[in-house]
Structure 1
């Protein structure tokens, strides 16, 4: 039986409007009552996730920034990793052939140099927002991760440029079709979950995890019970064809699966 359950947020635990469903919240509380440790593993900022967990009274560990930070249930920093300053400097101060917008994350929050109201729709529940800043003047020693947001084909071309420029000095991944992230080398949700589980005296085989995007790959393939959402990126399903696929986030499929797992684990599961 799993002792720790790790959840991606957008496209997984949250519905398409980026809100928790009531069934999902009730199921998370059932897990907690069964003494199963909860962890939210997300690309979102720690400051935002702390607001969300406080507002919903959810007692969970936080893996944020796609593995760049781990916080305890009390809010203490258990692990942190930032981009190599040379990498951050190269990404921020080079000319890239792309129309994507640039978003920088550090401990102070979310920084960008363009007004982008569409990006705020995903953060309505928390009220978390960006700060406008001159990214060219930002210190390269104060960058946790950098995100490019734009059309998927454009981002695929950008990824080739970034790979050629950065080589093995950073980890690149798609956290959504429209979001390409530049992360510290070796930094991902799976690596962070390994750190967290070990600190709690668990192994990764004691963990279950749910996700829908390529930034969830390392986490899903490393745990004892990895589940892919029915609305997942095709690239994720192709990369992990051996993992079970559950339903769509719009139907609160994580809650549906976990209710079956808690109440009728002896019966075969169907996402229908």
Structure 2
């Protein structure tokens, strides 16, 4: 019996209209009624999860969320941080310089200023829109080295991003956990930060072994948690490399894939 389900947001839990379908909400509630812990695990900040956590009733002192791709694991009600691994301002400057050298756009998340970018692009605007947060134009080079950061991102057209990914300097690749969360988002995290470690932190807090964990995702940033889980499930709309590591492939996010997976493996 699976006792914890880690669920990615965009492309997984949410359909193309950024909504949770009635069938999916019903399946999640039925799993909760059976005592299964539901954990939303996303590259979004916690602000971008709140409305969905409230919609699903995942807002009690017993609920946890993994956000910023595992940089933070947080008690949803109390705000207690049970795990935190972030990057430094010096790291963000490195990514900014790398982005300039590769002729792609960049933004980052500051613990004080929120979403910051040297120059706003349509994908930074998309990030702000999705998460209902403001954009602050900040030259990364002006940040003090002790300025508290969270993560950095390279954001651009998918073709440009793919080329930039392939041409990242070896020193950068070795220094960060690098995950692609969308065709236009490439994320640079603390090397000890990923969704797998985030879900593991919740499971250990609750005394749940990895074999009793099920995780569902659609993109490269979900790989660590799919590999950690006793059962890793990819969406039909997932990246090919995500499907390749999954134990099972469910329907797409527009076909209630999360609901179908819960019905098959939990509600039996």
Give TM-score, length-normalised by structure 1: 0.86
* TM superposition shift of 1:102: 1.0
Matches within 5 A, 1:58-97: 58-59=58-59, 60-74=63-77, 75-94=79-98, 96-97=100-101
What is the aligned partner in structure 2 of residue 133 from structure 1? 138
What is the aligned partner in structure 2 of residue 197 from structure 1? 203
How many angstroms apart in 1 are the aligned matches of 2:224 and 2:122? 31
* TM superposition shift of 1:51: 4.4
SS for the counterpart of 2:102 is coil
SS for the counterpart of 2:211 is helix
Of residues 169, 172, 178, the one that matches 1:166 is: 172
RMSD (CA atoms): 2.4
CA 219–26 in structure 1, closer or farther in 2 if over 3 Å, else same: same
Whether the 8 Å CA contact 1:11–1:249 is kept in 2: the answer is: yes
Deviates more, 1:56-65 or 1:141-150: 56-65
How many angstroms apart in 2 are the aligned matches of 1:104 and 1:194? 25
CA 237–39 in structure 1, closer or farther in 2 if over 3 Å, else same: same
**Deviation string, structure 1 residues 156-204 (Cα, Å, up to 9, x no partner):** 3322443423252211111112211111113111112112211111111
How many angstroms apart in 2 are the aligned matches of 1:124 and 1:87? 25
What is the aligned partner in structure 1 of residue 116 from structure 2? 111
* TM superposition shift of 1:55: 5.3
How many angstroms apart in 2 are the aligned matches of 1:184 and 1:34? 35
Give TM-score, length-normalised by structure 2: 0.87
Give structure 2 stretches of 5+ with no counterpart. Answer: none
What is the aligned partner in structure 2 of residue 35 from structure 1? 35
Whether the 8 Å CA contact 1:63–1:70 is kept in 2: the answer is: yes
Of residues 248, 255, 258, the one that matches 2:252 is: 248
* TM superposition shift of 1:140: 4.3
CA 167–53 in structure 1, closer or farther in 2 if over 3 Å, else same: closer
SS for the counterpart of 2:30 is helix
Deviates more, 1:82-91 or 1:116-125: 116-125
